[in-house]
Amino acid sequence: MDFPLLTLIVFLPLLGAAAVALLGNARASAGRAVAAFVAVVDLGLVAWLAARFDVAGGMQFAEIAEWVPQAGITYYLAIDGMSLAMVALSALLTLLAIVASWKTDRNPALWFSMLLLLEVGMNGVFVAMDFVLFYVFWELVLVPMYFLIATWGGPRRQYAAVKFFLYTLFGSVFMLVGIIALYLQTGTFGILEMAGAGLDPSFQWWVFAAFFLGFAVKVPVFPLHTWLPDAHVEAPTAASVLLAGVLLKMGSYGFLRISLPILPDAAAEWSTFIAALAAVSIVYGAAVAFAQTDMKKLVAYSSISHMGFVMLGIASMTPEGLNGAVAVMFSHGVVTGMLFFLVGMVYDRTHTRMIAEVSGLSSKVPVAAGLMAFASFASLGLPGLSGFVGEFLSLVGAWGSDIPAGWVIVSVVGVLLAAAYMLWLVQRVVLGTPSDAVARIDDLGAREIAVLVPLVALTLIVGVYWDSLLRFTDPAVRAILVTMGGA
Amino acid sequence: MSEFLLLAPEIIVLAGALFALFADRVTHRPSAPAHIGAPLAAVAAAVALVIGTRGGILGGMIALDSVSLFSRVAIALLLAVWLRWVSGRGTGPERPAEAVAFAMLSAVGGMLMVSARDLIVFYISLELSTMPAYILMGHRRADARGLEGALKYFLLSMLTSLVMLYGLSFAYGISGSTSYADLGRLDGGVLGQLAVAFVLVGLFAKLSAAPFHYWTPDAYAGAPASSVAYVSTVPKVAGTVALVQLVAAFGANGATVTGVLVAGSLLSMAIGNLAAYPQTDLRRLMAYSGVAHSGYILLAVAAGGAGGHAAVFYAVAYAVPSMALMLLGAEEGTALDDLGGLAARRPAIAWSAVAWLLSLVGIPPMVGFFGKLLMFTAAVEGGLLWLVLVAVAMSVVSAGYYFRVLRVLFFGERLDAGTVTGKPAVAIAFGALTVATYALGVFASGVMEVFGLRF
């Protein structure tokens, strides 16, 4: 531990947020420049870390300091391949969110400082290896997201923001009880120290239930998903991107980092139940997405469906399944981020998100239309694009596991549904004759294209060259399976 | 004589109170008593810290253990912050010097109560801490509602005090001694149990724990918000300490005590949180939220073990943001709508209020989270898992009404809003409370180690 790189990656945005807030609305253009600079530096630090990252090295860049020695609470940051993928996603999407919302004119100081504060929590969750620290970051995320939705959201923003906060808080307080129970059993708050501790199976079952509430609300797993459509529809574009792109992953990351390694017996007992909920989420999300008349709602429900594949992969508890889960998490962040950005860009021009009022984009705005089609194909899991990698691996893993085949078959139906609703969306929005709303709009500007290009590139790279992502995630998920005593 | 020197912090605050009463003989500035009192209270806290912990003094009637030390310092510092705010803003047109004097007298009572090891000392200091509070709550003579609330407070508080005194007389009758150390000799018979129950009734009322909380909303709603800021916080710290110490002393009646505490906790959490929901006045809202927080405190006390220290820590964790919010109410008006659009008018205060509110919900890294972590850990360890589950569910409920306040601060509008001019003294008070809200959380371990509190 020579240089506190992870601390810098986590807390640099906090300094940025303070600077932006102090600059205030009077010097907002300086403030947003600071915000973008901080986000660029943060992403650069993540890239630097990735370059020095030893793929086979397990947990690295560890920083441990005493925090509450009486109870064994430590300031413990460390990163493995799985965390690295998530932190990279968080740093990248934050930067893109800042660039995409460059023109925010209502209270810009608050806007950019909240985006950076959100990044602190998101980065922190994925590298905190102490339960109390993890919980601090977990809750920290709620506050800026509340303000992002409640200040810049749609007409029902207050309701959606509070609903988001209370739902997540409801889940996380039970997680806190689970953390307390684990501490009393093991005498430590260290996440990694608890892994493979061999706790009593019936005790594990109850703690798993407590964590399940916390994580499943966040993912979200049907039937705990009802906050998500409200939050997404009301949230401003950049907040939607980060909500879908990173915040949902915190839940599935929790399952992978905490529930599986620490509570392996309970995880095995719960796996069929989780697989069933995953399959229901996949089909339910897809079916409801079908019925949507609002593009943003469609993307929101498709998220529930995609996160179902993550849960299916996790429930399989096989190397393929877990790799698939992490791959879907990454890919969904990239692709859904792209879709939300595009929907936002179209909305900025047409002032409507209604599918019926937006059609024929391809003849008026070919760049936007092409990217929309590209993102839709990636979302439906076209081979060669990133969406396929994870869904394929998840299904392979689930098929080869103890999960009843019926649930896997139901999930495959979900893949078909996804193809159907995304293609139908492309047909209605991208193709056809231009509607009135589309008739006089301009195509994407350079800044908007700059936001989308990195996402397109990642979609292609991961989709074609799977190893670019899996070489990071595979050792990490295998380490998880080893602590579980299987595989 | 030298043993009396160990009570120097109390003597210093008492001197400040006496000065306040006669200040108008010396100076005509109405803010002089608070200006003098605030540094005196801070000095008292420093002196208490220097004195540290001592065994039994004055024939064993007083003892300074780590809990006494922590709460003595906390009470003195809370008083100092409150006086600092008063020195800038005042308590209103009527008899400002007396308000300062009574708050300081009440603090003396609280500081003695936390060190008491004898029922007589306990009862006298309890009365010393509550009597001035009645006057503080009703010191606007022309306000009929305020007087009604204060009278209600006075009558209910006196009634429960006397019930407690009755219980104490049983305890003396059985054990033949007024020392805490001999309370363990109370047998498990009917009289012993009655004694314990009566004492708990009195303490529940002081903590405004259900079902003896009825005085709180009316008394708070009728009183000046600045008085509520003091009365709703500082006496609660002292009351919690007394509860912890007496419960620890009631050895043989542990089962009865635990039963009563668990019932009180459940009732307080449920009634407080649910009744806070529809409130539109900050004082009533905070009154019910105070009932709820007493419920959490009772939960930790019922757990025993490390729960006692956790409860005392949490009483301070509750007092800090709560006092800040009521002082804000005293500045801006106590109807929730009065706080509308504060974020635009006073952004620094509004963002501080976010920390206070989230601390009361129990969101890290604020002090409320660490207090709850300590209490819930102790309670799960003490076998009260089911009650902890109720408590965490209730924290989510509480987030609902704290968010109503937050929403008004940031998204409400107030058309008739005047500009409240910032004053250095006020900024210092709010700044200190905000720093404490964060620092007591992040550095909870260091703070508890300094005072020797168990984790």
Structure tokens at A253: 């990351």
Please count the structural domains in chain A: 1
Give the CA dihedral A423, A425, A426, A429, nearest 10 degrees. Answer: 160
Of A297, A298, A330, the closest CA to residue A313 belongs to A330
Partner-chain contact A177 B392, CB within 8 Å:
yes
Structure tokens at B169: 């007389």
| Residues A322, A476: Cα–Cα separation, whole Å | 10
pLDDT per position as a tens digit, A322-360: 999 999 999 999 999 999 999 999 999 898 889 988 888
Residues of B in contact with A132 (CB under 8 A): 364, 373
Partner-chain contact B407 A174, CB within 8 Å:
no
Q: Which among B380, B411, B449 has the least Cβ separation from residue A180?
A: B380
In chain B, what are the domain boundaries?
2-451
Rounded to an integer, the average pLDDT of A301-327 is 94
| Residues B115, B363: Cα–Cα separation, whole Å | 32
pLDDT per position as a tens digit, A9-36: 999 999 999 999 999 888 888 999 999 9
pTM > 0.90: yes
Residue A487 has pLDDT above 60, yes or no: no
Task: Identify whether the C-beta of residue B295 lies closer than 8 Å to the C-beta of residue B279.
Answer: no
Residue A146 has pLDDT above 90, yes or no: yes
Residue A138 has pLDDT above 80, yes or no: yes
What are the residues of chain A with a beta carbon less than 8 Å away from any beta carbon of chain B? 67-71, 73, 132, 135-136, 139-140, 142-143, 147, 150-151, 158, 162, 165-166, 169-170, 173-174, 176-177, 180-181, 183-184
| Residues B104, B80: Cα–Cα separation, whole Å | 9
Partner-chain contact B363 A143, CB within 8 Å:
yes
Burial class (CB within 10 angstroms; exposed 0-12, middle 13-18, buried 19+) of A245: buried
B357 → chain A, closest CA residue: A143
Place of tokens 């129950």: B197
CA of B154 vs chain A CAs: smallest distance (Å): 38
Is there a domain that residue A389 lies in?
A: yes
Rounded to an integer, the average pLDDT of A107-136 is 95
Q: Which among B365, B399, B410 has the least Cβ separation from residue A165?
A: B399
Q: Measured between CB atoms, does B440 come within 8 Å of chain A?
A: no
Burial class (CB within 10 angstroms; exposed 0-12, middle 13-18, buried 19+) of B431: middle
pLDDT category at B189 given cuts 50, 70, 90 is confident
Residues of A in contact with B412 (CB under 8 A): none
Domain extent for A438: 263-487
| Residues A150, A166: Cα–Cα separation, whole Å | 13
CA of A132 vs chain B CAs: smallest distance (Å): 9
Residue A486 has pLDDT above 70, yes or no: no
SS3 of A6-47: the string is HHHHHHHHHHHHHHHHHHCHHHHHHHHHHHHHHHHHHHHHHH
Structure tokens at A303: 């998220």
Partner-chain contact B392 A174, CB within 8 Å:
yes
B446 → chain A, closest CA residue: A68
pLDDT per position as a tens digit, A248-300: 999 999 999 999 999 999 999 999 999 999 999 999 999 999 999 999 999 99
Partner-chain contact B455 A68, CB within 8 Å:
yes
Place of tokens 């043993």: B3
Residue B114 has pLDDT above 90, yes or no: yes
- Residue B1 has a pLDDT of 54
The string of DSSP codes covering A65-104 is EEEEGGGTEEEEEEE-HHHHHHHHHHHHHHHHHHHHTTT-
CA of A138 vs chain B CAs: smallest distance (Å): 9
Identify the helix (H) or strand (E) that includes residue A68: strand A60-68
Mutate to test the interface with B, among A133, A141, A149, A169 (most CBs of B within 10 A): A169
- 3-class DSSP state of B233: coil
Residues of A in contact with B440 (CB under 8 A): none
Q: Measured between CB atoms, does B305 come within 8 Å of chain A?
A: no
Q: Measured between CB atoms, does B385 come within 8 Å of chain A?
A: yes
Is there a domain that residue A439 lies in?
A: yes
Q: Which among A71, A139, A166 has the least Cβ separation from residue B396?
A: A166
Percent of chain B with pLDDT over 70: 98
The residue with greater pLDDT, B417 or A250, is A250
Q: Which among B365, B377, B396 has the least Cβ separation from residue A169?
A: B396
Mutate to test the interface with A, among B392, B448, B455 (most CBs of A within 10 A): B392
Is there a domain that residue A419 lies in?
A: yes
- Residue B422 has a pLDDT of 72
Is there a domain that residue A36 lies in?
A: no
